[in-house]
């Protein structure tokens, strides 16, 4: 049984990683085909760094991801504090609304916002979809994840500490920052990271809500796949994948050390 599971797990991992391996191998293809490997070269990496459109949309993606994650974290954390202190129908109503973007299929969220934007923008001249609509839509689908990751931390903390601080004469805002925030910080940070990655990775919502010139990376990649496939995309994906891998390895090595230090 154990042997069987080992083989089985290896097969599943092979299934998950085979396409990734293919992407990486073909990024070094000296030919231009994604079907035949002709020899080793770095030409696609060179071309990648000459492709203004890709670099620009990568830059735009990062801007949108950072801004939307930060704004969503502020709104979402405040909301979690409010919701946590509420009771009854108000609380459940807010939680239900919060769940809508999580449960709804992405395409429905995307077109519903598109309808709103097209409707609003049609009343103004010279306005088009772009930075503003992308930022708004990303904040919207990010907020719920922040709320959902902060809320459990709030529930889990000892609420009395906060009131103790108040009793000792610390003003509410200051005691919130000094006492509450440190306790829910892990939730805030994981919400922030989740929002950032969701935003960076989003295709469907950006696809329906971006304009002529301001496009995020996944949308640009999609428009490139409609043309003859360029291995530049493989080079790009390989590089980004390598960056993530390194970041993950670093954070993974660091973790156990931290734990020991805490003890």
Site for another protein in 195-254 (CB under 8 A): 201, 203, 208, 211-215, 217-218, 221-223, 225-229, 233-234, 236-237, 240-241, 244-245, 248, 252
- In the stretch 141-180, what mask flags binding to another protein with x, by CB under 8 A? --x---x------x--xxxx-xx--------xx--x---x
First to last CA, the chain: 38
CA distance 152 to 186: 11
Q: How far apart are CA 176 and CA 182, in angstroms?
A: 9
Count of residues interacting with another protein (CB under 8 A): 110
Distance in angstroms (rounded) separating the CA atoms of residues 155 and 84: 7
DSSP characters for 185-206? HHHHHHHHHHHHHHHHH--HHH
Cβ at position 179, least distance to another protein in Å: 9
Distance CA 21, CA 41 (A): 16
Instruction: Please give the helix or strand (H or E) that residue 220 lies within, else none.
Output: helix 217-225
Which of positions 2-41 make contact with another protein (CB under 8 A)?
Answer: 5-6, 8-9, 12-13, 15-20, 22-23, 26, 33-36
- Interface mask (CB under 8 A) for another protein, residues 54-93, using x and -? --------------------xxx-xx-xxxxxx-------
Task: Give the nearest distance from C-beta 42 to another protein in angstroms.
Answer: 18
Exactly one of 3, 39, 40, 119 binds another protein (CB under 8 A); that residue is: 119
Pick from 46, 118, 185, 246 the residue near another protein by CB under 8 A: 118
Q: Is 128 in the site for another protein (CB under 8 A)?
A: yes
Residues 6 or more apart in contact with residue 138 via CB below 8 angstroms: 64, 65, 68, 72, 199, 202, 205, 206
């Amino acid at each position: 049984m154990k042997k069987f599971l080992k083989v089985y797990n290896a097969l599943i991992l092979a299934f998950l990683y085979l396409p990734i391996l293919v992407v990486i191998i073909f990024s070094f293809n000296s030919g231009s085909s994604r079907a035949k490997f002709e020899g080793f070269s770095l030409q696609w990496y060179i071309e990648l760094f000459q492709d203004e459109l890709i670099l620009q949309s990568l830059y735009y993606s990062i801007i949108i991801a950072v801004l939307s994650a930060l704004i969503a974290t502020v709104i979402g954390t405040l909301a979690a504090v409010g919701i946590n202190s509420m009771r009854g129908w108000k609380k459940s109503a807010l939680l239900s609304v919060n769940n809508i973007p999580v449960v709804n299929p992405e395409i429905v969220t995307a077109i519903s916002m598109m309808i709103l934007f097209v409707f609003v923008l049609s009343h103004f001249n010279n306005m088009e979809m772009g930075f503003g609509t992308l930022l708004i839509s990303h904040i919207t689908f990010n907020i719920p994840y922040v709320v959902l990751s902060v809320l459990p931390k709030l529930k889990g903390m000892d609420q009395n500490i906060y009131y103790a601080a108040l009793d000792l004469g610390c003003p509410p805002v200051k005691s919130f920052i000094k006492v509450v925030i440190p306790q829910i910080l892990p939730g805030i940070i994981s919400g922030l990271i989740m929002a950032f990655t969701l935003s960076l990775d989003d295709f469907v919502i950006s696809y329906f809500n971006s304009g002529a010139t301001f496009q995020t990376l996944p949308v640009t990649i999609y428009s490139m796949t409609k043309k003859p496939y360029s291995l530049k995309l493989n080079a790009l994906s390989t590089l980004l994948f390598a960056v993530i891998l390194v970041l993950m390895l670093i954070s993974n090595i660091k973790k156990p050390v931290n734990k020991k230090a805490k003890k």
